[in-house]
Structure 1
Amino acid sequence: MNHFLHLPTIMVIHGCSTLISALLVGNLWRQRWSSVLLGILTFAAAIGFLGTVIHAMRPIVPFWMSAGFAPGAGALALGLFWQAIAVFEGKRPNYVRAAAGTVIWVVLYLTPIFHASMTFRTAAAALILGTYSVLGGREIWLGMQREPLPSRKLAAWVHCTRGGVWYSMLVGSLLLEPPYKAPGQYADWFVLASLLQTLLVMLSIITLLILALERDEGTSRRVAERDPLTNLRNRRSFVEHAETLLKLESNSSELLLFDIDHFKQINDTHGHAAGDKVLMEFAAMLEGRMQADWLLARIGGEEFACLIPNVGTSDAADIAEAMRRAVECLHTTIDGRFVPVAVSIGVAATDEVASSLDPLLAAADLALYQAKADGRNAVRIHRPGQSLRDLLTQDQATPVAANEAGPSGRSSRAKRRS
């Protein structure tokens, strides 16, 4: 094995890769001084580099440096790396736990067997370093359900594999032969394990940075898909997901289209801050009534949409009516005064119109217009064959509806928003 793999060369590569990691992560930390994660990773990589360099100088440095300081520094580096992962998972760093392995190593250094037996030193170091690696992998794996990032399994596998390699060193030292047989001679299993560790230490840092990148991308995507005021889906996100859902569903789906009544009057009377409060409370009420497979979004100023798969028209109407009554019960107060809130709801079904979003929205919009024309605070179901012209004719025949419709030159949606 020594003819093909040269341990000093592997140690140099290991040290260089750790140094490069420290410089790269340190540069990121310089740009984001507030990041505890990057700060801990920088110190972990720097300490790991220092320990690797001193251990590689084993033939020329004192025993206390090569066998005492260097492995202790390695234990501290891996302990800090474990705590960096904990920070990534939203926990507070525990530096006592990070330093526990180093403290144990110092205590072992004071025992006679430590100085007398290389096998003991190798086994103890492998046990400490392997445990830290496995703990880091476990931390990543436990976050799977809370935040299923695409690279979690890979990152957890890398850290646990790294721990397995350390444990293999423990087994090799106890059952095979000492890692250092003579000056310039190394056990084959130790050379191979050192090579694997060199590869895995780079992968462990890379995978953690990939996880951080995936989290940032996910956060950016969620921000782009969410309405900043209500935190519901915005129109673009709703259209994208609704079209996908409608293509997958073979049964009837229902669309509920909500429009808060007299919202402009609330803004004009109480101010836009009051209007924002009404929107937030209204959105929170709707969201609290959502089921897992329902799709809710704010698609306009005071307009909201909810797509409900696998439900009949009568059930959808009952759901809409329950929501309308719940809105009536909203106790919204502005400057100590109660502000009544009501909503008009239009309901349309895919089995009555084409099973695509645009016709479904148009049908629900017509039903919503009907609810407005009938005096607001009502639920109306789209009827096949119903058209805007029919509704306008009906409005002109009904004085109250005509008054609510406004000037004939305005669009249907503009008419019902006042």
Structure 2
Amino acid sequence: MDQLLHLPTIMVIHALSTLISAVLIGHRWRQRPQSRLLGVLTFAAGIAFLGTVLHAMRGVMPFWVSTGLGLGAATVALGLYWQAIVIFDGRRPNYAQALAGAAIWWGQCLTPIFQTSITFRTVTLALILGIYSVLSGREVARGGQREPLPSRRLAALVHYARGGVWFFVLFATLVFEPAYGGASQFASWFVLASLVQTMLMILSIITLLMLALERDERESRLVSERDPLTNLRNRRSFVERAEAVLAGEGRSAALLLFDIDHFKQINDTSGHAAGDQVLTAFAASLDASMKEGWLLARIGGEEFACLIPGVGGVEAVAIAETLRRRIEALEVVVADRNVPVTVSIGVATTEDVSASLDPLLAAADGALYRAKGDGRNCVRTIDPVVALRRMLEGSLERPQPLGGKNTVARGAMGSRRR
């Protein structure tokens, strides 16, 4: 073991790893100086490098410098790394907690037992760093409840493993032998634990970078799937998800198409900013009424769609009527003037047509035209005569494509006559 592992070499690797991390993260921080996360990580890596160098010179530097400041810096670095994870997950950091371990360490430096007992120093350090490592893992795992990134489990496991290694150091110190036996004598188990800690330290930095990349990818995907004004699903996202739901849904399903009444008049009278305000309030009101499993999207200018799995015609009409009344009671104030908002809703279900998206959209679009023709601000279903004919035919006629895989009948996913 002594021939294979050499503690000074491991400490050099550890120091170089932290130095490279500090340089790379610091360069990124220079490009984005407003990033608190990058700033804290840069300081953590820099302090870790300084602490490793100071402690590696324990035979040259005074005791209070190599052990007191050097190992104290290690506790500061890991405490800051813990708070960097807190920042990464959008919470407020607590730097007092990050420095608490160093305060305990430096407080112990003043005691006689600290200066005379390697066992006491090792146990104290292992306890502080083990607790910080476990707390870091817990923060990573907690963030998964809000943002389930794929690498969170791995990142949390790495931090828990770091804590486990430090607690092993504590146990081995008390049960086997001290970590240091002399100026250049080190216990084999401690050399191995130091190597594992160096590897886990590198892994902890890599996993945090992986989480950052996964967050960027997730945000980009969400942006591509969302309407920028209302933050609802956009047309493409709705079509993809609705087709998947209908393909795997063994029960009935209903599609509701919404069209804000006289929206062009709102734009012409109050301006497009007022129109955007109406769209935002309308979308928020609908979104607040959604239940788990319902799909709501903005599919056109003032047109919205909602797919509701597991409901039949009677229940779908009741839901649509509830939503219509909620919109009718909506108060949108523009320039100190109340803008009335009403909606026409067309309803179609898989009881009326085949359980695929294009026929449902075409049928709901026809029902929506009925609602607009009947004076607006009402709910209508597919014409019973048309429904009966389509039932006898077995399916809807496929609409003429407008240029795309998931294109539907004229007006169902685009602009509509006002």
TM-score scaled to structure 2, two decimals? 0.91
Q: In 2, distance between residues paired with 1:345 and 1:356?
A: 20
Equivalent residue, structure 2, for 1:302: 302
Cα distance 1:274–1:100, how it changes in 2: closer, same or farther (>3 A)? same
Equivalent residue, structure 2, for 1:375: 375
Residue 385 of structure 1: CA displacement? 6.3
What one-letter code is carried by the residue in structure 1 that aligns with 2:213? L
Equivalent residue, structure 1, for 2:121: 121
- Over the residues paired in the alignment, what is the CA RMSD in angstroms? 1.8
Q: In 2, distance between residues paired with 1:324 and 1:252?
A: 22
User: 1:346 aligns to what SS in structure 2?
Assistant: strand
**CA-to-aligned-CA distance 1:20-46 (integer Å, 9 cap, x gap):** 111111111111111111100101001
2:327 pairs with 1:327: yes
**Could you tell me whether the CA contact under 8 Å between 1:140 and 1:156 is conserved in 2?**
yes
**CA-to-aligned-CA distance 1:45-97 (integer Å, 9 cap, x gap):** 01101111121222222222222111011011111111111111222222221
**CA-to-aligned-CA distance 1:154-209 (integer Å, 9 cap, x gap):** 11111111011111111111111111223432111101100100001011111122
Q: In 2, distance between residues paired with 1:161 and 1:28?
A: 28
**Could you tell me whether the CA contact under 8 Å between 2:75 and 2:102 is conserved in 1?**
yes
What one-letter code is carried by the residue in structure 2 that aligns with 1:204? S
Q: In 2, distance between residues paired with 1:40 and 1:333?
A: 44
**Could you tell me whether the CA contact under 8 Å between 2:313 and 2:351 is conserved in 1?**
no
**CA-to-aligned-CA distance 1:324-343 (integer Å, 9 cap, x gap):** 22222222333333332221
Equivalent residue, structure 2, for 1:404: none
What one-letter code is carried by the residue in structure 2 that aligns with 1:289? S
Q: In 1, distance between residues paired with 2:176 and 2:325?
A: 77
Where does 1:6-405 land on structure 2 (aligned, <5 Å)? 6-383=6-383, 386=386
Q: In 1, distance between residues paired with 2:333 and 2:100?
A: 55
User: 2:129 aligns to what SS in structure 1?
Assistant: helix
Q: In 2, distance between residues paired with 1:92 and 1:416?
A: 48
**Could you tell me whether the CA contact under 8 Å between 2:301 and 2:415 is conserved in 1?**
no
User: 2:258 aligns to what SS in structure 1?
Assistant: strand
What one-letter code is carried by the residue in structure 1 that aligns with 2:144? M
Q: In 2, distance between residues paired with 1:52 and 1:201?
A: 13
Q: In 2, distance between residues paired with 1:204 and 1:335?
A: 53
**Could you tell me whether the CA contact under 8 Å between 1:15 and 1:49 is conserved in 2?**
yes
Residue 386 of structure 1: CA displacement? 2.7
What one-letter code is carried by the residue in structure 1 that aligns with 2:30? R
Q: In 1, distance between residues paired with 2:186 and 2:415?
A: 86
User: 2:105 aligns to what SS in structure 1?
Assistant: helix
What one-letter code is carried by the residue in structure 2 that aligns with 1:106? W
**Could you tell me whether the CA contact under 8 Å between 1:261 and 1:417 is conserved in 2?**
no
Q: Percent identity?
A: 64
What one-letter code is carried by the residue in structure 1 that aligns with 2:261? D
**Residue segments in structure 1 that go unaligned for 5+ positions in a row:** 388-410
Q: In 1, distance between residues paired with 2:336 and 2:75?
A: 61
**Residue segments in structure 2 that go unaligned for 5+ positions in a row:** 388-409
**Could you tell me whether the CA contact under 8 Å between 1:259 and 1:417 is conserved in 2?**
no
User: 1:237 aligns to what SS in structure 2?
Assistant: helix
What one-letter code is carried by the residue in structure 2 that aligns with 1:35? S
**Could you tell me whether the CA contact under 8 Å between 1:10 and 1:194 is conserved in 2?**
yes
**CA-to-aligned-CA distance 1:215-248 (integer Å, 9 cap, x gap):** 2222222222111111111111111111111111
Q: In 2, distance between residues paired with 1:86 and 1:337?
A: 44
Residue 416 of structure 1: CA displacement? 5.0
Higher deviation after alignment, 129-138 or 85-94: 85-94
Higher deviation after alignment, 117-126 or 52-61: 52-61
Cα distance 1:66–1:337, how it changes in 2: closer, same or farther (>3 A)? closer
Cα distance 1:416–1:162, how it changes in 2: closer, same or farther (>3 A)? closer
Q: In 1, distance between residues paired with 2:22 and 2:411?
A: 62
**Could you tell me whether the CA contact under 8 Å between 1:230 and 1:284 is conserved in 2?**
yes
User: 1:182 aligns to what SS in structure 2?
Assistant: coil
What one-letter code is carried by the residue in structure 1 that aligns with 2:95? Y
Q: In 2, distance between residues paired with 1:52 and 1:107?
A: 20
Q: In 2, distance between residues paired with 1:67 and 1:262?
A: 76
Q: In 2, distance between residues paired with 1:152 and 1:87?
A: 15
Q: In 2, distance between residues paired with 1:385 and 1:124?
A: 83
Count of residue pairs the alignment pairs up: 396
Q: In 2, distance between residues paired with 1:339 and 1:77?
A: 57
**Could you tell me whether the CA contact under 8 Å between 1:227 and 1:234 is conserved in 2?**
yes
Residue 144 of structure 1: CA displacement? 2.3
Higher deviation after alignment, 117-126 or 93-102: 93-102
Residue 98 of structure 1: CA displacement? 1.3
User: 2:344 aligns to what SS in structure 1?
Assistant: strand
List 4+ stretches of structure 1 deviating above 4 A. 411-416
**Could you tell me whether the CA contact under 8 Å between 1:369 and 1:412 is conserved in 2?**
no
**Could you tell me whether the CA contact under 8 Å between 2:312 and 2:351 is conserved in 1?**
no
**Could you tell me whether the CA contact under 8 Å between 2:129 and 2:163 is conserved in 1?**
yes
